Structure 1
Amino acid sequence: MSFGPPPSPSQYTQSTLAVGARKRRRTVLVLGVVLALTATLFAGGWALWSLTGGEDSAQAAAAQQPPDAIRETVETVPKTPEGELAVGWTEELKEGRTASTKGTWVSGSIAAKSFADVIRGMEIGTAEQKWETRFAGPLCAVTRHVSVDGRTAVAVPGKRPAKSGRAKGKSGRAKGKKDPQPRTPCDRLAVVDIDTGKKLWEKPLPAEGGGSTDVNVTMTRGTVVATWGRGSAAYDMTTGKRLWSDVKVRSCTDVGFAGGRGLLALQTCGDSADPRFRVQKVSPRTGKTEWTYRVAEGINSVYLASSEPPVIAVSTGEEGTIEYLHSLDDRGRHRATITLTDRRYVHNCDETFSAEVERCSGVVVGRRQLYVATEPRDMFEAGLSKKKPNEIVAFDLRTGKAVRTFDAKPDRPMYPVRMSGDKVIAYRESAGTALSSMVRLDPVTGKERLLLILPDSSDRPSMDMFADDFDIVYERGTVVFGKKEAQRQTGEQDEGPKVSLMDGYRSSG
């Protein structure tokens, strides 16, 4: 089909050109209106996300995380809140023995737990053992962080440890409780795939760190970092290649790191009897310092509650009880102080027998607020002892002020577990006929959503057990309780030789 020859330039008259110019102006005008409307809708959508909690946006952001980023799962509400036993592990333990069981992880269909020198992966739903990974000696350091594709890191000794004795305090005197940590050099770092149990790599720490027993391990995107008190080193998460190390003798030394979205280092400077502390943001791939925050004088203990946004916990007393939380901005400048006085809050920063600085499991930090539970208070009514409900308090990171409280139910304290997007997942204790449960709290509306009702169990942890005894991991609708230490007292013949290390629950729907 022919439409005739193309018009020649001479056929375009001034009126035709004018019409074309008017069309172009209309096109530009329409395009401008469309762009303005798009910008308005985008701004409105962003404002709506901020006001309504932005769960869809948070889910999208979590879904777009690269494989080697630290996992930030946004949970969905299950079809039914009635829960059922999904996974468990009991292990034989000799009478009078104690074993370190630090480390509880969940990824995909697997719940993994350590027991002395082994990590075992159990299938969620069947409780069948799917894999087992052994090391030369008991795990001496772990990280709670898991990458998007299911990797985590542990520190282990390169040889079998000598028999452990009684732990020594700062004064050098033996304490009454046996130390579950193996007293042997923790000189190797390994990365394990939780889904398959495959040991992706295992590398020796620098020779300068080979004699240490107090090792920290953490992870941030693409990087695993270990610290041993006299130095630190970083490794590529995928290949195990050492990226950098710092083993030089300096006036300030690394105590430990906090990972996750970023990487913070805690350092001590000067005399060990009267140390000065500072916190640094560190580039994970190069080890270079991006900013330094100098902690005020008179501080006795410092812990890293969050790397991004940066939150540190400090104590001024010799007992090490945390009294303040300080939030910092993205340049390392002080933003606000949150006061935790009178032992009223359950922060869990001062855990026993731990060299970690990244703990404070009772402090859950979001992008704008942090959340911490208050202690339940004993009450006596009509001759009966009962606990007054506690609450979870939300503090604004910019001002340090309490902006919302979530009240617990009578005799059923709540404890924040982790963030899920911009909402908070919490565990609530059982009481009487009321069963333990997992709930989701909305900081914007103040509303609570039931996620999971747990079956009755005598082993369910209470709030006063969290600091030293249990890990709680909630991932993809499954909650797993893992003991940090397995112990069988002398004379416990009636209980049998087996102790529970881990149990987990999911929706029965």
Structure 2
Amino acid sequence: MTQPPPPPNQPPQQPGFGPPQQPSAPGGPELNKAPEPGYGYPQTPAAPQTPPTPAAPQPPVTPPSAPQGPGYGYPQQPPAAAGYGYPGQPQQPGAYGQPQQPGAYGQPQQPGAYGQPGYGQPGYGQPGYGQPGYGHPQPPTMPMQPQPGGGGKKFNAQAAIIVSAVAAIALIVGGGVWYASSSGKDDDKNTTAGTGGTGGKDEKSGGTGGTGGTSSEAKEKAPADTGSKVLFQVPAPKVPKGTTSIPTSGSWLTDTVYAKSGIAEVVGYDRAKGTEKWTVDLPGPVCEGSGRVTEDNKTAIIFKPAMPTKTDPQSCTQVAVIDLEAGKQVWAKSAKSGTMPISFSNVTISGGTVAAGSTSGGAAWEVASGKQLWAPKTSDSCYDSGYGGGEKLVAVRKCGTYEQRQLHIQTIDPKTGKVITEYKMDEGIEYASVVSTDPLVVAADVGESADDGSGISDFFSIDNKTGKLRTRISAPGEEYAARCDGIYKLEKCSGLAVGEDRLYIATEEHEGGGESYSQTNEVVAFDLATGKQTGQRADAGDGYTITPLRMDGGNILAYKRPPYDKGGQIVSIDGGTFKQTTLMENPATEAVRDVETRMSPDYAEILFSQGGLYMSGVYASDFSSASDEKEYLVIAFGTS
């Protein structure tokens, strides 16, 4: 008998550390508002706002003549909590470059202590706990306030007490659901996002934060003026009464449309003006959005058949294809394991096929027609827990019982599900994430040695043609900042990219070299044939932290989270020389920074394409009634 996974995750923290300032005009950020008393400590979050009728395009934001910051003592980072993301368990970084000894390879994983499951372990009510296929994801653990310098992961004892209290209340309230974002469009348009986001066309690039495929010429060029302006903002939606939080996972880009999941809807916005072009209404929340987009601008989502309530949380049983240009639902399907409807946890697209996985197995349909191609393969003790899409279709097939698990990484035919090649991981590895399908790269937490909450201790480079392991790359959490969610969202990884047969990964933050006592980090490269570092390194710069988003031909596109007195940046890193070219720099005004820095690259969906940067949250929460500060679901920037 299969032993159930460990007990529940904690519910989401009340968002709103360092909330954005109330704009002076609808849709636009307020300029140069002085800090409120208690600045630098967690603030009471703002009440979620019901999305208004889209405002007219916002005029450019003019930065002040001198940066405004706290005047007492040396500069401090304004509170930049990830209002829509959830940093994992804080970890003291080890000395950069000092490898940590990973856990015994292939050793069975041990369940976490009750109430404290490790990253990547299902909680109560999630698929796999008690009744596979009928659970629903729990709210995330509480977000932690970043340290000065942008994006730090430590937080103090006082914050921990607040977090624990709110978590206890949230457990009583119940009814909340959450899905991490991150996704990435994957393909010809090369608009794959970091965690959280995706863009691009099917078949050309990899999952969230990563890409695969052969090299091509970079498409993103530096404009004459890299200074950006705020194009538009979308207020955070108001969650239904009696619901703690609702997922808003999923964002996509086409040449003309920026599309984003709201509460029980997907909305298409003019990507330059932010005006609504169309809305696809759904009967229940979007559980998960694929990071893949086909050549004709179609994507796939999973949603619930009705709105959740305290007594009926609903399961994620519906799979649909959305036409992002026409703004319509093409089809919606469900599948059964035996007589029971399947609650799906991940969905992807490859080769004209939509494939969705779960703890009850996987199913697939034709993108164009909705014709079912296969149902769950339950003839043995194995099941397809999920799929990675793009250039290839890769299944993560689970065999055996809990703590005696063996994962089979299979490249399969997208039309028939037939196995083409297979790599069997060592027994005892419970979860794996598909970082890229071509070249094939898988991330896993071996022996639960990644105790930093990243879900990654090692990367596995696998030969697509033979199914043999090319090399294994050790990536201790104390040194590297990439994250993956291998439990449900098998393609949801952040802080990395794959291209040119290399793995590009962000290092953990460490003390900078300046006099401001700020944090910084780098992007380094590993050769996927040898597993060794290439010696290439791109520095974030003092006070910045850098996160790879996706590949752009042979170059790496990365987001730089800013220090306290600057705006964020998008840079292109030359894949050969590692020379950085700035493509965008956002306004440095306090109000704009407050909104931007809430969108943590670890968890928010970040899409960049054709001079446009779109940052969005992955859930809406009701933890906001005690404040009149405004929360945002989306903020978009553009260059001239």
Q: TM-score, normalised by structure 2?
A: 0.62
Overall identity of the aligned pairs, in %: 29
- Residue identity in the other structure for 1:423: N
CA distance in 1, matches of 2:566, 2:188: 34
Counterpart check, 1:306 vs 2:466:
no
Q: Which residue of 1 aligns with 2:587?
A: 455
Q: Which residue of 1 aligns with 2:521?
A: 390
Is the 2:431–2:445 contact (alpha carbons within 8 Å) kept by the matching residues of 1? yes
Q: CA deviation at 1:298?
A: 3.9
Is the 2:456–2:477 contact (alpha carbons within 8 Å) kept by the matching residues of 1? no
SS at match of 1:246: coil
Is the 2:445–2:458 contact (alpha carbons within 8 Å) kept by the matching residues of 1? yes
The within-5 A match list for 1:331-410 is: 331-350=466-485, 355-378=488-511, 385-387=517-519, 389-403=520-534, 404-410=536-542
CA distance in 2, matches of 1:68, 1:459: 29
Q: CA deviation at 1:123?
A: 0.8
Q: Which residue of 1 aligns with 2:615?
A: 481
Q: Deviations over 1:19-57 (max 9, x none)?
A: xxxxxxxxxxxxxxxxxxxxxxxxxxxxxxxxxxxxxxx
Q: Which residue of 1 aligns with 2:576?
A: 444
Counterpart check, 1:105 vs 2:242:
no
Q: CA deviation at 1:113?
A: 0.9
* Structure 1 unmatched ranges of 5 or more: 1-60, 165-181
Q: Which residue of 2 aligns with 1:467?
A: 602
Counterpart check, 1:81 vs 2:226:
yes
Q: CA deviation at 1:144?
A: 1.1
Task: Looking at secondary structure, tell me which structure has more strand per residue.
Answer: 1
SS at match of 1:346: coil
Q: Which has the higher contact order (CA 8 A, sep 6+)?
A: 2
Is the 1:190–1:200 contact (alpha carbons within 8 Å) kept by the matching residues of 2? yes
Task: Looking at secondary structure, tell me which structure has more helix per residue.
Answer: 1
Is the 2:373–2:415 contact (alpha carbons within 8 Å) kept by the matching residues of 1? yes
CA distance in 1, matches of 2:484, 2:597: 18
Q: CA deviation at 1:332?
A: 1.5
Is the 2:203–2:392 contact (alpha carbons within 8 Å) kept by the matching residues of 1? no
CA distance in 2, matches of 1:250, 1:154: 28
Q: Deviations over 1:397-438 (max 9, x none)?
A: 111111111111001011100001111000012224432110
Is the 1:336–1:400 contact (alpha carbons within 8 Å) kept by the matching residues of 2? yes
- Larger Rg computed on CA atoms: 1
RMSD: 2.7
- Residue identity in the other structure for 2:232: V
Q: Which residue of 1 aligns with 2:556?
A: 424
- Residue identity in the other structure for 1:224: V
CA distance in 2, matches of 1:309, 1:281: 11
Is the 1:215–1:227 contact (alpha carbons within 8 Å) kept by the matching residues of 2? yes
Q: CA deviation at 1:201?
A: 1.5
CA distance in 2, matches of 1:253, 1:236: 21
Q: CA deviation at 1:139?
A: 0.9
CA distance in 2, matches of 1:471, 1:256: 21
Q: Deviations over 1:104-155 (max 9, x none)?
A: 1111121111122111111122211111111111111221111222111001
Q: CA deviation at 1:507?
A: 1.2
- Distance change >3 Å, CA 160–CA 300, structure 1 → 2: closer
Q: Which residue of 2 aligns with 1:167?
A: none
- Distance change >3 Å, CA 359–CA 91, structure 1 → 2: closer
Q: Which residue of 1 aligns with 2:30?
A: none
- Residue identity in the other structure for 2:497: V
Is the 2:514–2:542 contact (alpha carbons within 8 Å) kept by the matching residues of 1? no
SS at match of 2:447: coil
- Distance change >3 Å, CA 212–CA 492, structure 1 → 2: farther
Aligned residues: 421
CA distance in 2, matches of 1:70, 1:324: 26
Is the 2:317–2:344 contact (alpha carbons within 8 Å) kept by the matching residues of 1? no
